[in-house]
Amino acid sequence: MTQELAPTLRDQSAAHSAGWWRDAVIYQVYVRSFADSDGDGIGDLRGIRRRLPYLAELGVDAVWLTPFYASPQADGGYDVADYRAVDPLFGDLSDADDLVREAHRLGLRIIVDIVPNHTSDQHAWFRAALAGGEERALYHFRPGRGTDGELPPNDWESVFGGPAWTRTEAGDWYLHLFASEQPDLDWNHPKVREEFDSILRFWLDLGVDGFRIDVAHGMVKAEGLPDIGLSEQAKLIGAQVLPFFDQDGVHEIHRSWRTLLDSYEGERIGVAEAWAPSSERLALYVRPDELHQAFNFQFLTCDWDATAMRRVIDGSLAATASVGAPTTWVLSNHDVVRHTTRYGGGEQGLRRARAAALLTLALPGSAYVYQGEELGLPEVQDLPDTVRQDPAFFRGDGQDGMRDGCRVPMPWSGTEAPYGFGPGGSWLPQPESWGRLSVAAQSGDPRSTLELYRSALALRKELPGLGDGEMEWLATPEGVLSFGRPGLVCTLNTLATEAELPVPGRPVLSSAALEFSGAAVRIPGETCVWWAV
C-alpha cells in the first residue's frame, strides 16, 4: 500500500458550496456483482476500478460500495470479521486505496458501507466472548426462560426468520436480529463506541468521502429487551416503532459520528439506512447535528399511483424541510425486487421504470441509482434453489429470501454469459436475454434506457433548476402529476392510456415519444417528460 494517503475531493465547484451531497446522484455498486478482474466469478475492487470511467461518463457524482471487508460471507459481507481488512475475495487494502485515488482523479466520490449493529460470529470479540472472556459484555448475552433456560430470553424474531436468539454451548443465549452468524453488539458499552470511532477514522484517513450506515436504526435496544407480543415482526419494520429498531438512543450515536465527520476536510458524509414508521421519524436522523442523508424507503415502496406518489413526495419533502435536510429518492437497491419488475415486469414494467427514473431525477434533493437500473434490468425470478445465497431463503418466516434476484452480475458486453462481467463465469447465473441489455448493446442507441439515464444526468447538471431546491405542483387531470422547478416542468402520466395536455414548454427529454397537435401534446401512458420553460 502506498504511504501517501489518497487525496479527498475539495473545492470541486462553487455549485457544491452548500454541500455536494444535497443534490448528488449516488450510484450503488454491489461489489460481488459489478465487475470481476480475476476470473473467479465474483466481482472485486480491481474490477470496479477498471469500470470507474463508465460511471464518470454516466454522470453520477459518487459511488457507494457494499461491504468488502474480511468476512465469512454468511450474509454477503454484512457479517464483518475485521473492519480494517479487505476480504481476499475482493482484493487487498492497496486495491481499496487505488480505487479511492482513481475515483477522485475522475471526479467521483467514494462512500463505503459500515456495519455497526452487529459483527460476524468470527470476529475476534465474539470468539473471545464464546470462550468466556470479558468481551461478553460487548454483545447481548442473556439467560433463557423456562425451567432449564431452554426458551429464548424474549419473543423477538430475526428479520431473516425464526427466533432472534441462539443458544450457546454454555446454555445462555445471544441476540442476533439478522442471521445467527451476525451477533448484535451492545452499544451501551463504551468500548464498542470507541472501536467504531477508530474504524471510521481508519477509512476517512484512507480518503473515503463518507459512510452508508447499515441498520442505522438498530444499534440501541429498549431497556429490558421487552416482549413485542406479535408474530411476523419483519412485516412491522417501517410500520411501527419496535423495541429493537428506531429507538431514540440511536441519535446520540449519530450526533457523535457527525462531529467526527465534520472534523475532516472535504465534506465527508453519513447516510442512514433507517427504517422508520413515518417521514417525521425518519427526519430525526438528518437533523443539522446528525447525519447528512437518510434513505427514503417510503418512496421506494410507493405503489404506481399518482395520488400515492404525490402524498409520499409531499410528506418526504415536508419532513426533511422541517430539519433543513435534503430528501433522497431511491427506486431499487440490493435488498428489494428491482423496480422494473415491481412495476409490473415486461414492457409495462420497463415503461414505468423509465418514467420513474425521470420523475426521481427531477425531484428536489439527492438521488440513488442501483447498479443495472440504468440498463432497465429486471429481477431474475427463476434462479435455481441450488445457487441461492440469501440467508433468509433458508430460514423462512422473515424476509422473502429472494434478494439474490436483484444481485445477479452486471452485463457489460457480448451475446453470451458472463457478458463481459469477467474472464470467468458469474457467481449467480445471468439470463440468456441479457445480451441485448448490456452496456455495449445499449450504448449509442437513443431509445435505450442507458442513454435515457445518460441524458437525464447530463441535463441535471446543466439545468440550474434541478437538484436541491423547491418545487411547485401544477394543475393536472387525475392520474397525471406535474410540477415546476426553476426553468423546468416535469410531467408524469401514470395512466395506462395517453393524456392530452397543453404544451407547457420546450420538451428536452421524454421516456417515450410524444405527439403534438397545435398547442396540445399527447403524452403516452406511463411516460414522463421534462420541459424547459
Average pLDDT by consecutive 10-residue portion of the chain (533 residues)? 40 53 98 98 98 98 98 94 98 98 98 98 98 98 97 95 95 96 98 98 98 97 96 84 94 98 97 91 95 94 97 95 95 95 97 98 98 97 83 55 87 98 96 97 98 98 94 97 98 98 97 96 98 97
Residues in contact with 371: Cβ distance below 8 Å, sequence separation at least 6, in sequence order: 27, 28, 29, 30, 33, 34, 410
Round to whole Å and give the CA distance between 311 and 300. 13
pLDDT at 384: 86
Round to whole Å and give the CA distance between 242 and 222. 8
- Report residue 404 CA to chain centroid gap: 15
Give 391-395's long-range contacts (Cβ < 8 A, gap of 24+). Answer: 391/74, 391/75, 391/160, 391/178, 391/179, 391/181, 392/159, 392/160, 392/161, 395/158, 395/160, 395/161, 395/162, 395/179
> Helix H segments across 229-343?
250-262, 279-283, 297-300, 306-321, 339-342
- Please say if 214 is a catalytic residue: yes
- Please say if 95 is a catalytic residue: no
Q: Which of 23, 35, 103 is nearest to 68 (CA)?
A: 35
| Cell numbers describing residue 109 | 466520490
List the strands of the sheet with 328-330, edge to edge: 293-294, 269-272, 210-213, 109-114, 62-65, 25-29, 366-370, 328-330
| Cell numbers describing residue 127 | 470468539
What is the DSSP pairing of strand 527-532 with strand 506-510? antiparallel
| Catalytically annotated residue among 44, 87, 209, 214 | 214
pTM above 0.85, yes or no: yes
Q: For residue 524, say if its preceding peptide bond is cis, omega within 30 degrees of 0.
A: no
pLDDT at 240: 83
Q: Are 375 and 445 in contact (CB under 8 A)?
A: no
Stated length of the chain: 533
pLDDT at 136: 98
| Cell numbers describing residue 175 | 441476540
pLDDT at 392: 64
Round to whole Å and give the CA distance between 485 and 363. 9
Residue 226 CB: number of other CB atoms within 10 A? 13
| Catalytically annotated residue among 36, 246, 273, 379 | 273
Round to whole Å and give the CA distance between 71 and 65. 15
Round to whole Å and give the CA distance between 345 and 76. 26
Round to whole Å and give the CA distance between 350 and 453. 13
Q: Are 379 and 337 in contact (CB under 8 A)?
A: yes
pLDDT at 425: 94
pLDDT at 68: 98
Sign of the CA dihedral 478, 479, 482, 483?
Answer: positive
Round to whole Å and give the CA distance between 86 and 154. 36
Q: Which of 192, 243, 246 is nearest to 215 (CA)?
A: 246
pLDDT at 17: 44
